[in-house]
Structure 1
Amino acid sequence: MANVIGSPSRYVQGRGELAHLYEHCEKYGKNLFVLVSASGKKRVEAKIAQSVEGTGAKVVYETFNGECSQKEIDRVVEAFKASGCSVVVGIGGGKIHDTAKAAAYYAGAPVVIVPTIASTDAPCSALSVIYTDEGVFDRYLFLPANPTVVLVDTDIVAAAPARLLVSGMGDALATYFEARACQASGASNCVGGKVTLAAMSLARLCYETLLADGLKAKLAVERHVCTKAVENVIEANTYLSGVGFESGGLAGAHAIHNGLTAIPETHSLYHGEKVAFGTLVQLVLENAPLEELEEVLEFCTEVGLPTTLADLGVENPTQEQLMEVAKLACADADTLHNMPFPVDADSVYAAILAADELGKYYTDC
């Protein structure tokens, strides 16, 4: 099997770039169909209007209903077809991105992704994570191509709540460890090939950037300013992690995330917050060196990522609840089987409890 790396056709990051949206879209189509939340529209409408001023292009806004489910995707496809537009633009967070990518795929249209937060690595990937209407993980939809354009206005991202940037760090935290596991097992990555040297380098750089600049970026964003550390972490969360996970592959951390969706109390947590705990569980499954576990625990504690089940809102889980998490994480179609050793529900259950105890121990030290 060939080594394969996937990437968006163009990645654009800079301050004030949303005002140039149409400039980056016009070669793919004139009229823009913008999928966005009601609150997000208020934040971006003026800049988008500025970008199309004098072009004769029209912008049609469609309000996202809140969940990346098949029902919502189908609804957006029909709205796009009725709009007379030629380009799908998804503006917002990860579930909007995944819905826009899936809808564009079914409609046969180019897609432009505009993150207003750096909370996940979804923008750059040829992947949509599909949930039920109730928010429980359903399946992965692997797409034939990455987004046409990913445009990141760092002024907008830096103005978002710091917790969202930190959540993105949690998602990005898993990138190197999952790629490393896939390389060791020889598993296929998310674009149907083996891990490339470039993908492993990007995944490692992603982790190193988080350690170097994560805390600095969090503190800056808490004051709503965009520093070089913020720029670096936005790139790590969005591009390095996006290309790194897709071309490196997924393994334990994201499977644990998917398992955790079986517990309703975790639904209020962001994707990256659950992935961060999933990373700790994966490292326990691997029996990673204590020094590596401590490095990850220290990073999570510094920036405010969950390290215990209680941090996830699961105060007193029953054995049955955690075994359900473990069984869902071990589903045949999920990525836990990309680990370089056999994994079953019993070993995952044990690793969840051990990771929880490590988090408690480190917090109490």
Structure 2
Amino acid sequence: MAKIIGSPSRYVQGAGELSHLREHVALLGKNLFILTSPSGRGRVEGKIAKSLEGSDAKAVYEVFNGECCMTEINRIKAAFDASGCDLIVGIGGGKIHDTAKAAAYYSKVPVVIVPTIASTDAPCSALSVIYTDDGVFEKYLFLPANPNMVLVDTEIVAAAPARLLVSGMGDALATYFEARACRDSNAGNCVGGTITLAAMQLARLCYETLLSDGLKAKLAVERKVCTKAVENIIEANTYLSGVGFESGGLAGAHAIHNGLTALPATHAFYHGEKVAFGTLVQLVLENASTEELAEVLDFCATVGLPTTLADLDIADATEEQLMEVAKLACADGDTLHNMPFPVTPEGVYAAIVAADQLGCQYK
């Protein structure tokens, strides 16, 4: 199998860059169909209006209904087709990004992703995670190309709640460990090949950046300021993790996340928060060294990521419920089978319980 690395055609990051949106996308399209939330629109509309000044380009806004499901994707596609626009811009968080990417794919038009938060690594990927209308994981939609552009205005991202940046760190935390597992098993990545040296190094750099700058970035964002550490973490959460997971591959951590969606109580938690606990479960499955487990537990505790079932409000989950999580994580076609050894629901259940105990012991 060939080694393949994928990435967005262009990645733009800097303070105030959304005010230059029209200039950045000029070669992709003229009229912007903007998918965002009502609150997201309030945060970005002024900058977008400024970027359109002096042109005859238009912006058409569409409100996202909250779930990246086929019902919503089909609704957005229909709205875009009726809008007279030629470019989809997804502005917001991960589910908006994934919905915008999927709608652009089905409408056969370019897509630009503008994160207003750095809570997931979804912006850069040629992938949409599809859920049911009720928020339970359904499938991965692998797209033929990455977004045409990812534009990150760090002024906007730094002003978002710190918990969102920390959630992004949880998502990024899995990148190196899942890439390592896929490398060891020679499993395929998300772009139809195996991992390159470049992708492995991006994944490792992602992890090292989290350890060096994660706490500093959290503390800065809590005071609504953008420091060099914040810039570094935004890049780690968005680009290093995005290219790293897609070109490195997914394994245990994200499969555990998918399994956790079977428990309604976990729906109140962000994607990256559940992935962080999934990373601990994957490390237990691998029988990782005490030193590595301690490093990950220490990082999670320092920035405020979940390390126990109680942290996800499922301390009272029954054995039967946790077995359902394990069975969903082991579903045919999910990424747990990219681990470099066979996995079973029974083994995953045991790893979940053991990871929870490790977290409790650490606390």
Same topology, TM > 0.5: yes
* Cα distance, 1:46 vs structure 2: 0.4
* Cα distance, 1:24 vs structure 2: 1.0
Q: Which residue of 1 aligns with 2:209?
A: 209
Q: Which residue of 2 aligns with 1:111?
A: 111
Distance in 1 of aligned mates of 2:26 and 2:36: 19
Partner SS state of residue 105, structure 1: helix
Identity of aligned residues (%): 79
| Cα deviation digits, residues 11-60 of structure 1 (max 9, x gap) | 00000001011111111111000000011101100000000111110100
**Aligned-residue RMSD, C-alpha:** 0.3
Distance in 2 of aligned mates of 1:323 and 1:200: 33
Q: Which residue of 2 aligns with 1:74?
A: 74
Distance in 1 of aligned mates of 2:118 and 2:41: 17
Q: Which residue of 2 aligns with 1:144?
A: 144
Counterpart code for 2:144: P
Distance in 2 of aligned mates of 1:271 and 1:100: 18
| Large movers: runs of 4+ above 4 Å | none
Q: Which residue of 2 aligns with 1:195?
A: 195
Partner SS state of residue 306, structure 1: coil
| Cα deviation digits, residues 299-339 of structure 1 (max 9, x gap) | 00000000000001112110010000000000011000000
Q: Which residue of 1 aligns with 2:292?
A: 292
Matched, 1:55 2:55: yes
Unaligned runs of 5+ in 2: none
Q: Which residue of 1 aligns with 2:263?
A: 263
Matched, 1:345 2:342: no
Q: Which residue of 2 aligns with 1:238?
A: 238
Unaligned runs of 5+ in 1: none
Partner SS state of residue 355, structure 2: helix
Distance in 2 of aligned mates of 1:315 and 1:195: 37
Structure 2 matches for 1:1-365, cutoff 5 A?
A: 1-363=1-363
Distance in 2 of aligned mates of 1:117 and 1:28: 24
- Indicate the larger mover: 333-342 or 23-32: 23-32
Distance in 2 of aligned mates of 1:69 and 1:119: 19
Counterpart code for 2:234: I
TM-score (norm 1): 0.99
TM-score (norm 2): 1.00
The count of aligned residue pairs is 363
